[in-house]
Structure 1
Amino acid sequence: MRLIISSALCLLALVGSTQAQDAANGEKVFAQCRACHQVGPTAKNTVGPMLNGVIGRKAGALEGYNYSPANKNSGLTWDEITLADYIKDPKAKVPGTKMVYAGLKDEQRVKDLIAYLKQFDVNGNKM
């Protein structure tokens, strides 16, 4: 009986420590990205590529943006895991990238940022 109770408490602690993605908080996190990136219906490429529909897009493939050879030739497709790794340390994930950003180390903020970005389809409409 003690084993069952102990196991249940461990499971509850594990589930409780896993936080869901929060797109509203992700919008706040995106504020630091806005210096180089845009999202939404009027988004365009600026210092960095616009990020509408980024999940599922091949790295270095957005028309109209001049990517580094490192991004073009990375072979990456931006899924949640790959994008999270990149956001945490862009130069480690894609050596030679021209993205000048030290990275976002906070796991929850990375999850929230990705939740925010996932809302935008390729036309910048929230899904």
Structure 2
Amino acid sequence: MASFDEAPPGNPTTGAKIFKTKCAQCHTVDKGAGHKQGLAKSEWTFGRQSGTTAGYSYSAANKNMAVQWEEKTLYDYLLNPKKYIPGTKMVFPGLKKPQDRADLISYLKESTA
């Protein structure tokens, strides 16, 4: 598995398309929007510890993982969320292509800044 250090440069425009097709069913990045089935990404920021956003019902696995979300950890998580955090309630199977993960992270960084 390639690490984030070896990831290709991300494209936020392509990442927005990936978010729309793969993530928007359960998540939103709109400021002030509430949580959907998944955590509102407008409430999620790089540097936040997993399982700590107020008002969202996390799985015990997510709370106990206590991962600091940053590009590297998100890159690894997005490959296979259930493997990265066993017991997570997130049903998303992951993004296998390094470019897709880099693009999505680039978009998330831009849209949640």
- TM-score between both structures, scaled by the size of structure 1: 0.77
Return the match for 2:74 from 83, 87, 92. 83
Q: How far apart are residue 102 of structure 1 and its match?
A: 0.9
**Within 2, Cα distance between the matches of 1:112 and 1:43?**
23
Unaligned runs of 5+ residues in structure 2 are 1-6
Unaligned runs of 5+ residues in structure 1 are 1-17, 122-126
Q: Count matched residues.
A: 105
The equivalent of 1:5 in structure 2 is none
**Within 2, Cα distance between the matches of 1:29 and 1:39?**
13
Return the match for 2:87 from 86, 93, 96. 96
Give the letter for the 1:35 counterpart. Answer: Q
The equivalent of 1:107 in structure 2 is 98
1:20 corresponds to 2:9: yes
Q: Percent identity?
A: 42
Secondary structure of 1:26's partner? helix
1:61 corresponds to 2:52: yes
Give the letter for the 2:97 counterpart. Answer: D
Q: How far apart are residue 19 of structure 1 and its match?
A: 3.8
Deviates more, 1:31-40 or 1:45-54: 45-54
1:40 corresponds to 2:30: yes
- TM-score between both structures, scaled by the size of structure 2: 0.86
The equivalent of 2:3 in structure 1 is none
RMSD across aligned C-alpha pairs, in angstroms? 1.4
Q: Deviations over 1:65-117 (max 9, x none)?
A: 00000001102010111111111100110000000011110100100000000
Question: After TM superposition, which residue ranges in structure 1, 4 or more long, deviate above 2 angstroms?
Answer: none
Quick one: higher RCO (CA 8 Å, sep 6+), 1 or 2?
2
**Within 2, Cα distance between the matches of 1:105 and 1:78?**
19
**Within 1, Cα distance between the matches of 2:8 and 2:96?**
16
